[in-house]
Amino acid sequence: MSDKKCPYAPTKLTMNNGAPVADNQNSLTAGPRGPLLAQDVWLNEKLGNFVREVIPERRMHAKGSGAFGTFTVTNDITKYTRAKIFSEVGKKTEMFARFSTVAGERGAADAERDIRGFALKFYTEEGNWDLVGNNTPVFFLRDPRKFPDLNKAVKRDPRTNMRSATNNWDFWTLLPESFHQVTIVMSDRGIPASYRHMHGFGSHTYSFWNEDGERFWVKFHMRTQQGIKNLTDAEAAEVVGMDRESNQKDLFESIEKGDFPKWKMYVQIMPEEEAEKVPYHPFDLTKVWPKGDYPLIEVGEFELNKNSDNYFLDIEQAAFAPSNLVPGIGVSPDKMLQNRLINYADAQRYRVGVNSHQIPVNQPRCPYSSNHRDGLGRADDNYGGRPHYEPNSFHQWEEQPEYAEPPLKINGDAAHWNFRKDDDDYFSQPRALFNLMSDEQKQVLFDNTARNIEPTPDFIKYRHIRNCYWCDPAYGEGVAKAIGLTVEDALAARESDPARHLDSLL
Ligand code: HEM
């Protein structure tokens, strides 16, 4: 509460059973200096609740900020999708957004060099649609098998309990498909000045289907209307020294004073059959679709216009899941996305419980009746006495075939396909990105990389210099010089690299 006047009506203290609490200052003791009595039921309840206040934090993206808002359609895309949220220009849909850093724990500082989570929940009339993206269009990996390893590499070392540049860069440099994302994280965009000043991306390829049953592949882009603003490493160090909650403060206070942040939503659309023909893998999360091939089509705009009255209730307990889809919006064969369709709901059953869909921020704003019953913390009428099997003779829980997605052709032999052998173009897209940078931006990239990789052994530095060099000789030269090593030594060090035995690009 920022001012002296409390906006809430006065309350009287009671226990959970409603009984009045007569004394909230002095514990019940045998005499003024005597021991506590077990019959102090309020003390027992108060401390018992206290030790259960903390729920598990998100395994990653633990530190975040969120707000409620409104999405408005500004352009007609009904020829691509039947999704009701896009059904007419001017239509408004209530939504919730949560932004986050990835590696830091719940108490971590905001102004860290890291990608940012960009998670959106749209309360549509046909169910909640969650677009759980990042502020970058690509990701480090394209196979979910490596996701737990990525997290081990970027989180704390098991022995020192400190973040480890060696673990981080050893892993990244051994997975050259991460190079595109690493280039973005080390670039001048690696530390957004605030959540308001960054773009968002669905990153994966999703799909749309329309009323005629035609499918399109789609990528989502959210472009900040506040402009892009970033921090240098030196500026970030200063910010963190003064304020570890810089992004939370910025978002909360701008909404509080009515300066509502806005993003425009765009899509790139690829007709279903073109996926077979484009020269890159259209479902590979380490690649973008060139905008020259698939231009941005405006869809709508959203603004965040309401802070939560209770951080834990809405932001900590928010449960976003890529599996929260609505008719007209579907997925793609992207194997990362396919795994996320399972993993988020699974994580949330553990983190917030099997009935987390009943928590207000997660609850659909349309009628819902999923026929799941019981479970820890069930707080609604639990479907009362309705028969709970299906089929039944009483028109309960009837399926809705009119919403079926058009069939998707899938074929292929089951195997652990080595995608590195099948598609080893790690560098042409980061090269294009590097060549879009001004000389000044390139120097920032070299210097950020050098500062970040500094604590690692030379064989890791050499490995990264080689990756940079293979991407573009000028990239390799620039990073080598900033580190104080040479490309020649890096290339020569290839034979003695301790990971030479791995089936990897070294
Ligand atoms: C959070 C898993 C890749 C964006 C999470 C959580 C899990 C997870 C378990 C915590 C969920 C919770 O407790 O509520 C995975 C796996 C991935 C993957 C297994 C790859 C196979 C990605 C990618 C993106 C992404 C590619 C972005 C394009 C996010 C965001 C959050 C998150 C934004 C935080 C959501 C929030 O604000 O609550 N991820 N993730 N993740 N992930 Fe991922």
From the CA of 117, give the closest atom in ligand 1. Answer: 33
Which of 367, 366, 342, 325 lies closest to 82, judged by CA?
325
Q: In this predicted model, what pLDDT tens digit does every residue of 96-144 receive, in sequence order?
A: 999 999 999 999 999 999 999 999 999 999 999 999 999 999 999 999 9
The Cα 43–Cα 47 span in angstroms is 6
What phi and psi values does residue 324 have, to the nearest 5 degrees?
-80, 90
270: three-class secondary structure by DSSP = strand
- Centre of ligand 1 from the C-alpha of residue 44, in Å: 38
Residue minimizing CA distance to atom 13 of ligand 1 = 58
- DSSP assignment of 304-358: EEE--S-HIIIIIS----TT---TTEE--S-HHHHHHHHHHHHHHHHHT-TTGGG
- Helix/strand/coil (H/E/C) assignment for every residue in 10-35: CCCCECCCCCECCCCCCCCECCCCCC
Share of the chain above pLDDT 70, in %: 98
CB 137 within 8 A of CB 127: no
| Confidence at 424, pLDDT banded by 50, 70, 90 | confident
Question: Is the shortest distance between the CB of 153 and ligand 1 below 6 Å?
Answer: no
> Does ligand 1 lie within 6 Å of residue 58's CB atom?
yes
Distance from the CA of 47 to the center of ligand 1, in angstroms?
33
Q: Give the chain's domains with CATH numbers.
A: 64-140+180-362 (2.40.180.10), 426-496 (no CATH)
Mutate which of 55, 57, 59, 61 to test ligand 1's pocket (most atoms within 8 Å of Cβ)? 61
- Angstrom distances, CA of residue 226 to CA of 142, 284, 296: 31, 30, 19
The pLDDT of residue 411 is 86
pLDDT at 85: 98
Rounded (10°) angle between helices 473-483 and 458-471: 150
> What does pLDDT average to over the chain?
95
Q: Which of 214-228, 325-339, 384-398, 472-486 has the lowest mean pLDDT?
A: 384-398
The alpha-carbon radius of gyration of the chain (Å, integer) is 26
pLDDT at 503 exceeding the cut of 80: no
**Minimum CA distance residue for ligand 1 atom 33:** 117
| Phi and psi angles of residue 272, each rounded to the nearest 5 degrees, phi first | -50, -45
Do the beta carbons of residue 285 and residue 336 sit within 8 Å? yes
**Candidate of 55, 60, 220 to mutate for ligand 1, largest count of ligand atoms within 8 Å of Cβ:** 60
Burial of residue 441, with CB atoms counted within 10 A of its CB: 0-12 exposed, 13-18 middle, 19 or more buried: middle
Give the contacts of 335 (CB within 8 A, at least 6 positions apart): 142, 143, 144, 283
Closest ligand 1 atom to residue 59 Cα is 10
Separation CA 417–CA 443 (nearest Å):
38
**Model ipTM value:** 0.98
Q: Which residues are catalytic?
A: 61, 134
Q: Using CA atoms, how far apart are residues 14 and 21, in angstroms rounded to an integer?
A: 5
Q: Is 332 in the pocket of ligand 1 (CB under 6 A)?
A: no
Residue nearest ligand 1's atom 10 by CA:
58
Q: What is the C-alpha separation between 288 and 294, in angstroms, rounded?
A: 10
- CA distance between the termini of the chain: 56
Q: For residues 222 and 158, is the Cβ–Cβ distance under 8 A?
A: no
Parallel, antiparallel, or unpaired: how do β-strands 206-209 and 215-224 relate? antiparallel
Q: Report CA-CA distances (Å) from 451 to 123, 350, 456, 483.
A: 43, 38, 10, 8
The answer to whether the CB of 349 is under 6 A from ligand 1 is no
Backbone angles phi and psi of 493, in degrees to 5:
-75, -5
User: What is the Cα 85 distance to its own chain's centre?
Assistant: 22
Is the pLDDT reported for residue 420 higher than 90? no
Q: Which is the closest atom of ligand 1 to the Cα of 61?
A: 34
At residue 501, does pLDDT exceed 90? no
Residues that constitute the known binding site for heme: 344
User: According to the model, what pLDDT value does residue 265 have?
Assistant: 98
132 lines ligand 1 (CB under 6 A): yes
Q: Is 119 in the pocket of ligand 1 (CB under 6 A)?
A: yes
CA 344 to ligand 1 center in whole angstroms:
7
User: 3-state DSSP: the chain helix, strand, coil percent, rounded to 5?
Assistant: 30, 15, 50
Average pLDDT on 7-35 reads 94
How far, in Å, is the centroid of ligand 1 from the Cα of 481?
Answer: 36
134 lines ligand 1 (CB under 6 A): yes
pLDDT tens figures, 49-104? 999 999 999 999 999 999 999 999 999 999 999 999 999 999 999 999 999 999 99
- Section 185-211 average pLDDT: 98
Instruction: Identify the pLDDT of residue 5.
Output: 84
Closest C-alpha residue for ligand 1 atom 7: 344
Q: What is the pTM of this model?
A: 0.96
Q: Is the CB of 96 under 6 A from ligand 1?
A: no
CB of 361 shorter than 6 A to ligand 1: no
Residue type at 106?
Answer: R
Minimum-distance ligand 1 atom for the alpha carbon of 203: 28
Q: At what angle do helices 458-471 and 179-186 cross, to 10 degrees?
A: 100
DSSP 435-473: HHS-HHHHHHHHHHHHHHHTTS-HHHHHHHHHHHHHH-H
The most distant pair of C-alpha atoms in the chain lies apart, rounded to whole Å, by 85
Give the closest residue to 70 by CA, choosing from 256, 261, 258, 298: 261
| Amino acid at site 250 | D
